[in-house]
Amino acid sequence: MNVNSVSSTFLLIAFFVYLLAFFLFVLAITGKRWSNRDPEKHTKQWGFVAFLTSVVGFACHVTFFFTRWAEGGHIPTSNMYEFMTFLGMMIMCAFLIVYLIYRTPVLGVFALPVGFIIIAYASVFPSEVQPLIPALQSYWLKIHVTTAATGEAFFAVGFAGGLMYLLRSVSYEGTSKTDKREQRGLELTLFFILMLVAFIASIFTFNGSGYKALFVKEVISTDTQGAQVTNQVNETYVLPPIVQPYDMKVVEMKPFLGMKEPLFTAPSWMEGASAGRKLNTVIWSVLGGLVLYGLARLVTRKPLGASIGSAVKGMDPDDLDEISYRAIAIGYPIFTLGALIFAMIWAQEAWGRFWGWDPKEVWALITWLFYAVFLHLRLSKGWQGKKSAWLSVIGFIVVMFTLVGVNLVIAGLHSYAGV
């Protein structure tokens, strides 16, 4: 058995141990309702067991990280698979640190899913160990990426705390315009989470079934001698093609639910690599999210926020507000070092300038400015409670777009991260 297979096994073990820890945290906060023992004692005991289980999962995750490092000969943060697994590891690390400070079992119910959803998302990408491309062959890869991801991990815990606060505080019985707006915003946030889950599930399902659709077009170019050369460009879908790439022909397409050809063609103005496939993926994610949301509403027979919110009704909202703020306050200086200062130093060494207008750089700056505004409003203007919670939720959405949207949708100098 080679090291790579061992590392993959440890990641799989870590994933399922995190799932077990999540269910133990759920048991800690819900089991007290039917327990004949002291409810507080029940929560502390099962919360402690769930915490120890999380530590075991984290140890397996760390083992995966170092065994993969040994196999590849470089720190495993050089592509989307490696970076997302590392981010998931640091989210778990940040959660364990914050949990030791506040000893709040309900935090595990909301923070752990963020971590293992990130790990599941990482598994969508190719997991083979790849050699470092020249642009990444620098010791700054270790410094810049690890510190930036650590800061983002604390932002994730802040997001979990902010979401818990909103679930605890948003009134689903209220009928005012403010209440309705908050209800819609919270339901939309939960829908986005379900949409990501649906995307991951659909990729795994169709990949597992061997589904594939192939499109091709011929591109005529001129070589150095002025002769015309015809090249063939291929585009492969792993999800059934609702959208056909613009100016490409179907070569192979397995029927799905009676659909033997794409429903429509991507518009001509959608330029860029794989634009049609990306639009197709977005459509599938939205449809899958709608299905999951509809099924959840059918089961609960009430808005998801009202259903999930019952898990945190016994929590002190001030504690939840404090957890969210403290996590972001810890993460912000780390993110500043990693995503801005160290990144600019590396950019100077690699490209001869501290700053360019590359999309990843711009969105990293937007993220930094957003959390700077968050801390300013929190400390100087007294924005606490719901205002602070909404900012923590929106901020992590910005983080996820910086990580996922910029790497996979917008072309730039950092596009290699999506390989």
Helices (H) and strands (E) in the chain, counts: 14, 5
pLDDT of residue 224: 67
Sequence-ordered alpha helix ranges (H) in 174-274: 177-208
Q: Where are the domains of the chain?
A: 3-172+305-418, 182-301
How does the average pLDDT of the chain come out, rounded? 85
pLDDT of residue 63: 95
Q: Please name the amino acid found at residue 258.
A: G
Coil/strand/helix, residue 211: coil
Strand 264-265, strand 243-244: pairing? parallel
Nearest to 145, CA basis, from 392, 323, 364 = 364
Neighbours of 362 (CB within 10 A): 16
pLDDT of residue 78: 83
pLDDT of residue 413: 43
- Residue pair 392/158 in contact (Cβ under 8 Å)? The answer is yes
**pLDDT tens profile 324-349:** 999 999 999 999 999 889 988 888 88
Q: Could you give the CA distance from residue 179 to residue 175 in angstroms, rounded to a whole number?
A: 6
- Residue pair 388/321 in contact (Cβ under 8 Å)? The answer is yes
pLDDT of residue 4: 56
- Residue pair 385/378 in contact (Cβ under 8 Å)? The answer is no
pLDDT of residue 219: 73
Per residue, the 3-state secondary structure of 118-177, as one string, reads HHHHHCCCCCCCCCCCHHHCCCHHHHHHHHHHHHHHHHHHHHHHHHHHHHHHCCCCCCCH
Q: pLDDT below 70 — which residues of the chain?
A: 1-4, 31-40, 42, 135, 221, 223-226, 228, 270-273, 405-419
